[in-house]
Amino acid sequence: MFVMAPTATFPILTRVLPLPSKIDAFGAPPMLTNAAKAGALDYLAVISTLFVILGFLMIFRNTLQGMGKAVIPMISSIVELALRAFAAIYLAAKLGYIGICYASPIAWVGGSAVVSGGYFWVVRRIGCRYLYNRRQVTVRGRR
């Protein structure tokens, strides 16, 4: 489901919503319009293929917040901000515009690593506590 939506949307955006050939909404000449269109298509190509990572990030983050664990998603947001700043500064100097296009997916990967690690840690702690309490009750004979 996550993979199908971006790959189905990309061809629609490139063919159904073309920019006018003579002049765009801001009065730019066709050469600038084509450059902006090419940049937008590059950005969509990079972002749309990596929305799966963003989906995992949102699932884990919202699950942790629903469990009442707000510190781990906050740390994840700080990691995302730091990675975006690093990618915008370093990759923009090395790769140019494509480096800036990859800044968000790099931040999503870093945030997903923090949040998924935190999620499995919390779930394991909850599970161990549940199993320990269950064994304790059955050993004592109370049910």
pLDDT of 13 > 60? The answer is no
Q: Which two tokens stand for residue 95?
A: 């790769």
Single pTM value for the model: 0.67
Minimal CA–CA distance to 80: which of 124, 45, 112, 118?
112
| Coil, helix or strand at residue 13 | helix
- Tokens 């494509």, residue located: 98
Torsion, Cα of 26, 28, 32, 37 (10° steps) = 30
**Is a pLDDT exceeding 60 seen at residue 64?**
yes
Name which of 3-7, 36-40, 72-76, 107-111 the model is least confident about: 3-7
pLDDT (tens digit per residue) in 114-132: 999 999 999 888 876 665 6
In this structure, what are the phi and psi dihedrals at residue 22, rounded to the nearest 5 degrees? -85, -45
